[in-house]
Amino acid sequence: MYPNNPWYHLSWDSENLQAIGQLLSTYVGSRIILGNVLANATPLGIPLAAYTLMKNPWSNAYANAKKVGKLLGEEIEYIDTPFILCGHSLGARVIYFALKHLALNNKTIIQDVHLLGGAVSSSPEHWDKVQHSVQGNINNYLSKNDKVLSMMYKVGTGFTNTPIGVKSIDVERVNNVDVSYLVSGHTEYKENFSKFIVLS
């Protein structure tokens, strides 16, 4: 897709990510299990469930993504080469904070961005500020079939926001692409990336 570009893979917090995988298989191993968790939620049960999720590896990695994103922004800030950033799930959150760092420092060195099933807030106020660090487009790929984001993410964040992986980012320079017809679950974005990538 980008034959003339070198690729770099940012590896971070792998122990937490492995634990997240185990957690997801426990909580969302089937729709029935997930349905029961939500169906049994009471006014008291919801905050208790949120507290439980806040103490798990997902929440640890969710918080660490902010730190990693800032570090990524710092690393590429002074490199005189445009970058194309691609990230899945919490990787999209890392990208958001990298863009935020670059925007705060008036750097526009990102060529394009591809966000797959992003586990980061869809708030237009947030994205309106960071979009100016991107020369081209921010491409947001979302799926209505992503139960991890539509349910677990919301509980884990205390129902404070809706993630970009299930909701459009309503700002001018973002291409929101609904890939529900290809992606039936949170782990299916990367394997289908070549089928729905939007090239500027």
What's the confidence (pLDDT) of residue 42? 39
Contact 126, 96 (CB under 8 A): yes
User: What pLDDT, on the 0 to 100 scale, is given for residue 56?
Assistant: 60
The tens place of each residue's pLDDT in the chain, 200 residues long, gives 777 888 888 877 645 545 555 555 454 443 333 333 333 333 434 444 444 545 566 667 777 888 889 999 998 888 878 899 999 988 999 999 999 999 999 999 899 999 999 989 999 999 999 998 999 999 999 999 988 888 776 666 666 778 999 999 999 889 999 999 999 988 899 888 888 876 44
* Claim: this prediction has a pTM higher than 0.75: yes
CA angle 167, 109, 89 (to 5 degrees): 30
d(Cα 98, Cα 108) in Å, to the nearest integer? 12
User: Do 64 and 12 form a contact (C-beta atoms < 8 A)?
Assistant: yes
